[in-house]
Homo-oligomer: A and B are copies of this chain.
Amino acid sequence: MSRAPKWIDTDVHNAINNPKDLLAYLPKAWHAQWLGQGIGVSSPYYSPVGVMRKDAKPPQGGQPGGDPGYLLKHHLDKYGIDYAILTGSGVLGISLHVDADYANAVISAYNDWLVEHWLKFSPRFKGSILINASDPAYAAKEIDRMAGHPDMVQVIMASGARMPYGQRFYHPIYEACERNGLPIAVHPGTEGRGIAGAPTPSGYPSRYLEWHNILPTNYMTHVNSLVCEGVFEKFPKLYFVAIEGGICWLPHLMWRMDKNYKALRDSVPWLKRLPSEYIKSHIRLTTQPIEEPEKPEHLVQMFEMCGAEDIVMFSTDYPHWDFDNPKVVLNVLPKAMRQKIMAQNAIELYGLYEAPPAMGEESASGSPDEGIAEAEVGGQ
């Protein structure tokens, strides 16, 4: 008997265990560069706690998040999560490589590898089609090439970019997403890398902590741009998924945009609704790393201010250091709000109306305290 999914994790990082795993899908001309340089877009920021959870390393070796079977057992089964939306690991920076041809070759190889090694492994894995946002014409072709696979549920690109994502340069990407009925997602971490330029309006912060604190400003930039440039009037079926960029900045941005729009709307005559209405209709956000105010009721107030109940989706960011435990992290929310965020909003966005057949009721339960200790990092 089928049931609706209980929990859907909208940000799970599937890693390439060994660079050689991609060679079967990559034209030979790029093999040496791939093995020698990899993504080729490095970060100047160093995390003192590392980026990966040490307990996520598969026992048989390889990268955290690199083994589909271990990821199922160590994460999805442990918490009773029905589906994982796979977002890749360390590959998004390819959009900021100097050489678009190399980037295009790598993303196509990655997408083929994703189908073979992950999507065929379990129906509980759902894929994100990686694109090179710096070459929208190629990106559109790649979306058309991959969108036919039934387990590909969205398109993904780096949030680090040379231009705000509302600008017309990127519209072929949105046209292809809409044509194929797929949302477009961004994920942070590439801010300040490669051809993206400085990660703030005032240059480069000094340390990982400071850089990580300020990442949501790039999300504000893109959301603001998408609305002001009229992307959601031009592509009325498009959804933009802001993964791992925070949530509680949204009320401020919506209020400021609406206030300014009332005075300055002459300059954006293509808009027919308040900016905040486009955000509520077309933007989706994921929870991790969820803000943790001293008074938990403040989080509830914030969620009410921005209509989070309808636009926010649960995520853990497994296997990264700042993982949010699904059994703990949103318990302060009212039950109805929590249920929509833990599953319903993702069910609707990704069309995942039924839980996977392989997953019995028993594996969706389990001790509520299981695994909490090891999931916590650095005293949070």
- CB A369 to nearest CB in B, in angstroms, measures 21
Tell me, in angstroms, the Cα distance from A160 to B161 when the chains sit together.
20
Beta-carbon nearest neighbor of A214 in chain B: B224
- CB A242 to nearest CB in B, in angstroms, measures 13
Beta-carbon nearest neighbor of A253 in chain B: B213
Given A264-B49, A264-B212, A201-B206 contact (CB < 8 Å):
no
Q: Flag A180-223 by CB within 8 Å of B: 1 or 0 each.
A: 00000000000110001111111111111110111011101110
Q: Are B206 and A256 in contact (CB under 8 A)?
A: no
Q: Are B305 and A260 in contact (CB under 8 A)?
A: no
Q: Are B222 and A205 in contact (CB under 8 A)?
A: no
**Residue of A199, A225, A256, A268 contacting most chain B CB atoms (<10 Å):** A256
Q: Flag A17-44 by CB within 8 Å of B: 1 or 0 each.
A: 0000000000000000000000000000
Say which residue of B164, B199, B249, B378 sits within 8 Å of A249 (CB atoms).
B249
Tell me, in angstroms, the Cα distance from A161 to B167 when the chains sit together.
25
- CB A216 to nearest CB in B, in angstroms, measures 7
Chain B residues lying within 8 Å of A256, measured Cβ to Cβ, are 213, 216, 246, 289, 291
Chain B residues lying within 8 Å of A298, measured Cβ to Cβ, are 251, 301, 305
Asked if A331 is an interface residue, CB under 8 A from chain B, the answer is no
Q: Are A268 and B207 in contact (CB under 8 A)?
A: yes
Given A213-B253, A266-B48, A218-B199 contact (CB < 8 Å):
no
Tell me, in angstroms, the Cα distance from A260 to B210 when the chains sit together.
9
Beta-carbon nearest neighbor of A228 in chain B: B210
Chain B residues lying within 8 Å of A164, measured Cβ to Cβ, are 200, 202-206, 210
- CB A168 to nearest CB in B, in angstroms, measures 9
Asked if A373 is an interface residue, CB under 8 A from chain B, the answer is no
Q: Are B214 and A200 in contact (CB under 8 A)?
A: no
Closest 3 CB pairs of A and B: A263-B378, A217-B217, A248-B252
Number of A residues, CB within 8 Å of B: 76
Chain B residues lying within 8 Å of A213, measured Cβ to Cβ, are 224, 228, 253, 256-257, 260, 275
Q: Are B163 and A204 in contact (CB under 8 A)?
A: yes
- CB A253 to nearest CB in B, in angstroms, measures 7
Asked if A322 is an interface residue, CB under 8 A from chain B, the answer is yes
Asked if A229 is an interface residue, CB under 8 A from chain B, the answer is yes
Q: Are B292 and A259 in contact (CB under 8 A)?
A: yes
Chain B residues lying within 8 Å of A60, measured Cβ to Cβ, are none
Q: Are A203 and B197 in contact (CB under 8 A)?
A: yes
Say which residue of B196, B252, B267, B301 sits within 8 Å of A252 (CB atoms).
B252
Q: Flag A261-285 by CB within 8 Å of B: 1 or 0 each.
A: 1111111100000010000000000
Chain B residues lying within 8 Å of A220, measured Cβ to Cβ, are 214, 217
| 21 CB-based A-B contacts, threshold 8 Å | A47-B264, A48-B264, A161-B203, A164-B203, A164-B206, A167-B206, A192-B201, A197-B198, A197-B201, A201-B217, A210-B224, A213-B257, A216-B252, A216-B256, A217-B217, A248-B255, A255-B292, A258-B292, A263-B321, A263-B378, A263-B379
Given A192-B201, A200-B218, A293-B305 contact (CB < 8 Å):
yes
Q: Flag A223-261 by CB within 8 Å of B: 1 or 0 each.
A: 011001100000000000000001011011101111111
Q: Are A252 and B217 in contact (CB under 8 A)?
A: no
Q: Are B201 and A200 in contact (CB under 8 A)?
A: yes
Asked if A137 is an interface residue, CB under 8 A from chain B, the answer is no
Asked if A98 is an interface residue, CB under 8 A from chain B, the answer is no
Tell me, in angstroms, the Cα distance from A197 to B200 when the chains sit together.
10
